[in-house]
A and B are shown apart, each in its own frame.
Chain A
Amino acid sequence: DAGVIQSPRHEVTEMGQEVTLRCKPISGHDYLFWYRQTMMRGLELLIYFNNNVPIDDSGMPEDRFSAKMPNASFSTLKIQPSEPRDSAVYFCASSLAQGAERNYGYTFGSGTRLTVV
């Protein structure tokens, strides 16, 4: 398995532009997570999906952020319009939860480093 695949690896954009980050989870995993990592705030959970349905988006910072999961093999995180304070590394992770059993951990992608100038 190729693991969780994120694209692009790096993105530099101008303030006000739309940015779309992409994620392909591990095949068969039924949970998908979007995280943001900064020096100031550490690792923050933005949103997560179960079977393509958003379960908890309480971590999404504001309406400029949106996430979709149109099918089991693809998810996007969109920022529109982007601002310099959105500069961070964005990670996608996926997980397989075996019914009602406890969480066995996530597999993370390599991240997208976003710089908004």
Chain B
Amino acid sequence: AQSVTQLDSHVSVSEGTPVLLRCNYSSSYSPSLFWYVQHPNKGLQLLLKYTSAATLVKGINGFEAEFKKSETSFHLTKPSAHMSDAAEYFCVVSGGTGFQKLVFGTGTRLLVSP
């Protein structure tokens, strides 16, 4: 079975400072990992994905994440936060033979202050 744990329900940063959203996963298989973002009253948008290629994955809007198998982590980072980054972020895992459905974390709300 697959699962993800998002270690922080809320993260607050100031505009221009780095962002770190933490995610640990559990998977019996070599996993695929994703980060989705949801802005208020909007749908979920794919930020980036890891599917067994390069361990450092670059996504949209300056976000990136690094797959660390030894730590079973897939933390999301951005060097400099922007006000428009304020949203809910979901870490997601999928793994197994053939097609496997995605398993979502509980989400981390990112707050960005001026």
Interchain CB contact under 8 A, B43 and A106 = no
Residues of B contacting A14 in the complex (Cβ-Cβ under 8 angstroms): none
What 0/1 pattern do residues 78 to 103 of B give for CB contact below 8 A with A? 00000000000010001101111110
Interchain CB contact under 8 A, B32 and A103 = yes
Residues of B contacting A91 in the complex (Cβ-Cβ under 8 angstroms): 43-44
Residues of A contacting B56 in the complex (Cβ-Cβ under 8 angstroms): none
Distance in angstroms from A101 CB to nearest chain B CB is 8
Interchain CB contact under 8 A, A105 and B104 = no
Q: Contact residue range for chain A?
A: 20 to 34
CA–CA, A107 and B107, complex, Å: 18
Stretch at the interface among A41-49, A60-68, A79-87: A41-49
**Which of A31, A43, A97 counts the most chain B CB atoms within 10 A?**
A43
* 30 cross-chain CB contacts under 8 A: A31-B99, A42-B104, A42-B106, A43-B107, A45-B101, A48-B101, A50-B99, A56-B101, A93-B44, A100-B97, A100-B98, A100-B99, A102-B32, A102-B52, A102-B95, A102-B100, A103-B32, A103-B94, A103-B100, A103-B102, A104-B32, A105-B34, A105-B46, A105-B49, A108-B36, A108-B43, A109-B43, A110-B42, A110-B43, A111-B43
Known: A43-B107, A102-B51, A106-B102. 12 other contacts (CB 8 A): A43-B90, A45-B101, A50-B99, A93-B44, A102-B94, A103-B94, A104-B51, A105-B46, A105-B49, A106-B46, A108-B44, A110-B43
Chain B residues close to A by CB (< 8 Å)? 32, 34, 36, 41-46, 49, 51-52, 90, 94-95, 97-102, 104, 106-107
